[in-house]
Chain A
């Protein structure tokens, strides 16, 4: 079977530049999106990738041709576009970003009305429109003018500042290192933190779209930040991904706290002030559940995918949520989307209010160690294995909405079949290394049977 480096699916359209991801294809997708949202305003933003301006032009041409009014907001974080859709009562939004993927990739993230990503069913409807050969292009008299909005990030900043106590943070005079990954956060992060009264050391602030570190904000990619935090004697370090929706924290000792703990820290703070339900995906650390329990709050799990978390949060009126595995913090009082800036503000506010260092705060939260393995397994067998294990471990609170998650008092394990390869991934966390290694070995063996 011939393969192209292109993926058009319910997650949108994604591919590598110069290959099948042509401007024409992007315009076609934007055209279908414009039709799907019924014309009207569509906010268009992008990250710093060199292919961004090219695809922005393609998206604009596509939107104009079906009678939409594109509102260009330029290089902004993904959450900025989501909040702009809400603020401008737009019918939708498009973000030109391949998120944490390397520079040769690009993609479209698609936002529906009120600034929330299209859910699975909506994305399927859009895809159905895209797949049809006919487009409802409008005649020239129905064309609308292109608009440009400068300072769209101010909308996001205002929303965040309305929900946190800036004075308290300013009073704490924290020294903060920020690694912007040469991404969409770069033009804004330093000024944002300075407005919170922090002394700022910023890394990777160039906005030419050449990522000077690997773009996923995981421990192995943020060693420069870790060194800077220690060398500059910072109180805390933050790392963003190229579209600035994810945030990862580094302690004053220069050790990454781990992407699992961004949502845990946010929850620790929010629940201590305003207890309420918490929503996370099944890939999230047990520490989140521990924190929720500490404040007498309930933690709910959803399948992986930001829109799943967001939908559940809105449904049950969650006060905080996110995604452990990817450093996603969602604070719906600002907007129900992952936002690195909201995440930073919440964690800084907690440090300032409690007059505690990050290390002191973390002392009150269980620290899990993790391990994982890939087990070769055909999809049919994977389904069978998950079914068997669910029955076998009925007393370990099995959650089967997305693979199988089992929870014990001191550990948890997640078993998920891959969508792209004939493998099953086993991921576990426990309070000590011995226990976690044993769990991974045990389940690897059980799936192998």
Chain B
């Protein structure tokens, strides 16, 4: 199985077996050709192979006649901010985010700072597959320059206009944050200092060597939990390596499933009549929260590009999904874990509530997530075959397959970033959820197609 995925989430793959300098150059050349000159901002996370991809991409753009602004190691919200801020024509985020070690990804960003939409990406991929790239003669090649040294400050200024920083500072809060040794450590510390919150940072060196599974899941939160209680911190956070996904540990030491990140934020953030965008496999808790605040919920396909695109299209105030990602319509056209931090800190400060109290307000269900390894083509066949299996459920195939019963639901989808089927089951009780997950997995495994 070729460990490579090219699609709505850009180009993602395993270094060496799939991600090679040649492939990265072809993809970057496609972007450069698509832009026909112009300026690209490039940012990278701390993964060790990101340096190789970074060099390959810049070389390709210069050859296409594009000027390059090199942001070096920077988090994904900073890059979403920087592309329009620096009036660039596009951006590229090089980084593996939540992927396991040995993987990496190239994610194109449009001039408005959002990930490429489906239409833009299709055009880019047509050029990529045709492999007829623009190459300029020696006196027309592009030039590169570093990003302005204070651009992170402009980002923080922008972020702080969205928050009541005085209220946060006055509350004298403390938090524990785990940056997974990714690109968020530096900006995270500056943010904490700016809003006057005492932060105990762990795994905040930009070493690129993953201290734990980079998906912010409850099992990744062990280190935060171990210091949160003795230090009596007010809240804990676990981030992925590019600050696009967050999971939360409350003051009582409870690790919330990453499913609840968007719900907890929504519960603090939404107002009557606002719009919220999510996908087809995010917890029912979010529906309940939206209803509680009189907000409308809109659903779209899984993937940052779809969710953010829909958020912009609807003028929605909030968007997010069950992977722990949240975007804010009035702030940035991309996921931003720093804003998640800010909104929760502000809510704690203004409501005078602990994070455990905020979490206790959420109507809970039980979610079980499983991965089923399979090739992409096989995944589609399996999902088609499964469609008629539950005649008593309401079936929705807007994105993958979703079966809804009165007390729960099952969602199955071929991942856009890895060769797996992602299964999410939500039920009122854990036993029921586990039982259903087992049943579906069994069905898939026995299925001969």
Contacts and interface: CB of A to CB of B under 8 A. Distances in A.
Interface stretch (B49-57, B110-118, B353-361): B49-57
- Which of A60, A65, A140, A143 counts the most chain B CB atoms within 10 A? A140
A381 interface: no
A144 to B, nearest CB: 9
B52 A61 contact: yes
Specify which of B21, B47, B48, B101 lies most central, judged by the most chain A CB atoms within 10 Å of its CB.
B21
A143 B52 contact: yes
B15 interface: yes
A61 B138 contact: no
B120 interface: no
B52 A23 contact: no
Contacts of B139: 50, 103-104
B141 A51 contact: yes
Contact of B21 (A18, A65, A106, A141): A65
A53 B62 contact: yes
A22 interface: yes
Among A19, A27, A104, A145, chain B packs the most CB atoms within 10 A around the CB of A27
A51 B102 contact: no
B26 interface: yes
B73 interface: no
Contacts of B53: 61
Contact of B59 (A27, A138, A145): A27
Given A61-B52, A140-B16, A143-B52, A54 B137 contact: no
Contact of B52 (A28, A64, A141): A64
B141 A57 contact: no
A54 B55 contact: no
A322 interface: no
Interface string B1-30: 000000000000011110011101110010
Contacts of B251: none
Nearest to B133: A22
B138 A50 contact: yes
A24 B33 CA distance: 15
Nearest to B16: A137
Interface string B37-72: 000000000011101110110111011000000000
A167 interface: no
Contacts of B58: 54, 57
B25 A27 contact: yes
A212 to B, nearest CB: 14
Sorting the interface of chain B by its residue count into under 10, 10 to 19, 20 to 34 or 35 or more gives 35 or more
Contacts of B20: 65, 135, 137
A65 B102 contact: no
Given A17-B141, A23-B25, A24-B25, A141 B59 contact: no
A141 B138 contact: no
Contacts of A143: 15, 48-49, 51-52
B48 A50 contact: no
- B interface secondary structure, majority: mixed
B25 A17 contact: no
A62 interface: yes
B135 interface: yes
A439 interface: no
A16 interface: yes
A24 B51 contact: no
B138 A49 contact: yes
Contacts of A19: 135, 137
A228 interface: no
A348 to B, nearest CB: 35
A211 to B, nearest CB: 11
Interface in B154-175: none
Nearest to A22: B135
B387 interface: no
B140 interface: yes
A31 B25 CA distance: 14
Given A51-B138, A57-B55, A57-B58, A22 B21 contact: no
Contacts of B254: none
Nearest to B102: A140
A56 B56 CA distance: 10
A58 interface: yes
Contacts of A149: none
A103 B56 contact: no
Interface string A177-216: 0000000000000000000000000000000000000000
Contacts of A62: 21
B16 A65 contact: yes
Contact of A104 (B15, B52, B137, B144): B137
A17 B138 CA distance: 5
B48 to A, nearest CB: 5
A427 interface: no
A17 B52 CA distance: 22
Nearest to A60: B55
B34 to A, nearest CB: 17
A268 B137 CA distance: 45
A61 B25 contact: yes
B293 interface: no
Contacts of B25: 23-24, 27, 58, 61
Nearest to A20: B135
A418 B26 CA distance: 38
B301 interface: no
Nearest to A54: B62
A60 to B, nearest CB: 4
B136 interface: yes
Given A54-B141, A140-B16, A61 B135 contact: no
Given A23-B25, A61-B55, A139 B140 contact: no
A64 B63 CA distance: 20
A8 interface: no
Nearest to B144: A53
Contacts of A53: 62, 144
Given A23-B60, A54-B62, A61-B21, A16 B138 contact: yes
A371 B102 CA distance: 63
A55 interface: yes
A55 to B, nearest CB: 7
A62 B63 CA distance: 16
B55 A140 contact: no
Given A62-B21, A64-B51, A141 B140 contact: no
A333 interface: no
Contact of A24 (B17, B29, B104): B29
Contacts of A55: 59
A114 to B, nearest CB: 27
Contacts of B102: 139-141
A19 B59 CA distance: 15
Contacts of B140: 18
Contact of B51 (A16, A51, A146): A146
B59 A57 contact: yes
A242 to B, nearest CB: 13
A31 B23 CA distance: 13
A23 B141 CA distance: 12
B141 to A, nearest CB: 6
Contacts of B14: 139
B15 A139 contact: yes
Interface in B122-152: 133, 135-142, 144
5 contacts: A16-B137, A23-B56, A50-B138, A57-B55, A61-B52
Given A23-B59, A56-B59, A139-B17, 13 more contacts: A18-B137, A18-B140, A22-B63, A24-B25, A28-B21, A49-B138, A54-B142, A58-B25, A61-B21, A61-B53, A64-B52, A137-B16, A138-B16
> 9 closest A-B pairs (Cβ-Cβ)?
A18-B137, A57-B59, A61-B56, A17-B138, A137-B16, A23-B59, A64-B52, A54-B62, A58-B59
